[in-house]
Amino acid sequence: MSSKMQSSNNIAQARRTVQQLRIEANIERIKVSKASADLMNYCSEHAKYDPLLMGIPASENPFKDKKPCTIL
């Protein structure tokens, strides 16, 4: 590749980098305290429906092997 082509590639790359950084710089950001509060609220509202957090009664556990019945 000629050095002229290479430097125009580099400039194109640099332009794309600046373009991308402009997009990322211009977003609205909320405070971490608000973000954390929302996360905590979501977790607490959904906790009671979370089987891995609450535990699963044996009778409702589809993965638990049922004990075999013996016929006497």
Partner 1 sequence: MGEMEQMKKEAEALKTQIEAARKAVHDTDMASAAAGVAPAPQVQLKTRKTLKGHLAKIYAMHWSTDNRLMVSASQDGKLLIWDSHSGNKVNAVPLKSSWVMTCAYAPSGNLVASGGLDNMCTVYNLKTPVIKTVKELDAHTGYLSCARFLSDTEILTSSGDTTCALWDLETGKQKTVFLNHVGDCMCLSLSPDMNSFVSGACDSLAKLWDVRDGQCKQTFQGHTSDINAISFIPSGNAIITGSDDCTCKMYDIRADQEVICYQDAALNSGVTSLALSTSGRLIFAGYDDFNCNIWDSLKGEKVGVLSGHDNRVSCTGVPEDGMCVCTGSWDSFLKIWN
- The residue ranges that bind partner 1 (CB under 8 A) are 7, 10-11, 14-15, 17-18, 20-25, 27-40, 42-47, 49-53, 56, 61-65
Closest to partner 1 by CB, 63 vs 72, is 63
Which residues, 6 or more positions from 47, have their beta carbon under 8 angstroms from its beta carbon? Answer: 53, 54
- The Cα 11–Cα 8 span in angstroms is 5
Closest to partner 1 by CB, 3 vs 72, is 3
- Closest distance to partner 1 from the beta carbon of 70 (Å): 22
Per-state percent for the chain, helix, strand, coil, to nearest 5: 65, 0, 35
Closest to partner 1 by CB, 55 vs 71, is 55
